[in-house]
Amino acid sequence: MKINVLYLGRLDCKKFHLIECRDEQTDILSPVSAILIQHPDLGNILYDTGNSPLYHKAYSEEMLRTYPVGEFISIESALSEYGLSVDDIDMIILSHLHFDHAGGLCYFKGTKAIKNIIVSETELKNAYWKVMTNQGGAYIKELFDIKGAVYKTIAQDTDLAPDLQLFIQNSHTPGVLGLVLSTQTKGNIIVTSDTVYTRENFNSELPPGGKINKTKKEFYDNLKLIQEKSKTYNAELLFGHDYEQIVEWAGAKEIF
């Protein structure tokens, strides 16, 4: 198994949206990323797809004001750096269906990957309920409800292979998929996605500010889950929007 973190640009937002803090005017760089997994048995897997190329039109004024897209790199361009195209991807795993994770699905129209998208059942139901009741927020229907898309849902923690496990989280959105990756040279890696945005959230046990989580309790309950998993697997954590970590890992040629 070969693993590469793909840097897909960034959102320029206020720090409190990611990490609870007193000064709501402090800025932070929030990276957008995907993970390319080249698996000997499962083929080429993509975890998340980044922003939509039509973000300036598809995203609401409020979304662009709250999470301005400071830099955009398409998933198509990122894959080309590894000699791959969208046609080479066999499976897409979506951590959740927010705009900066599902936005790149449009590049996969007509490919085999669009018929093999894994997401948690709870997440898919929640996303459709939100957009169909005019409460979409960070869910944008046209980004994930696209022609030819076939979702394969899971309702519990699932091993896709002995070295690749999906686990379901209930924070940020109900049903965020995390990963447990077992590598030969870097040991075990747990990918939190947006349930824990940054290393500061984890180390200081600080939830996001604002209203992204319904309650702080869901953050702390999920944080406990991540803490327990990290001990069980003796794993290093890869956080959802930690700028320094994403840039560092994306700069590494491969993570085995």
For 148-205, what is each residue's pLDDT tens digit? Answer: 999 999 999 999 999 999 999 999 999 999 999 999 889 999 999 999 999 999 999 9
Residue-wise pLDDT for 209-236, tens only, equals 987 877 899 999 999 999 999 999 999 9
Question: Is 256 domain-assigned?
Answer: no
Choose among 41, 14, 8: nearest CA to 27. 14
Q: Long-range contact list for 215-223, CB < 8 A, 24+ apart?
A: 218/170, 218/171, 219/171, 219/195, 221/170, 221/171, 222/169, 222/170, 222/171, 222/195, 222/196, 223/171, 223/195, 223/196
Give CA–CA dist 134/62, Å, rounded: 14
pTM of the shown model: 0.97
Report the greatest alpha carbon distance in the chain.
Answer: 48
Give CA–CA dist 78/5, Å, rounded: 10
Residue-wise pLDDT for 101-133, tens only, equals 999 999 999 999 999 999 999 999 999 999 999
Domain count of the fold of the chain: 1
Question: Is 136 domain-assigned?
Answer: yes
Question: Is 64 domain-assigned?
Answer: yes
Q: What is the CATH number of the domain that holds 42?
A: 3.60.15.10
Residue recorded with tokens 């955009």 = 72
Percent of the chain, pLDDT > 70? 100
Mean pLDDT of the chain: 96
Q: Which domain holds residue 121?
A: 2-251
Q: What is the dihedral of CA 169, 149, 85, 48, to 10 degrees?
A: -20
Residue-wise pLDDT for 164-173, tens only, equals 999 999 999 9
Question: Is 17 domain-assigned?
Answer: yes
User: For position 5, what pLDDT does the model report?
Assistant: 98
The DSSP line for 189-235 is EEEEETTS-SHHHHHHT---STTSSS-HHHHHHHHHHHHHHHHHTT-
User: For position 39, what pLDDT does the model report?
Assistant: 97
User: For position 68, what pLDDT does the model report?
Assistant: 97
Choose among 196, 212, 241, 182: nearest CA to 50. 241
Question: Is 44 domain-assigned?
Answer: yes
Give CA–CA dist 89/206, Å, rounded: 36
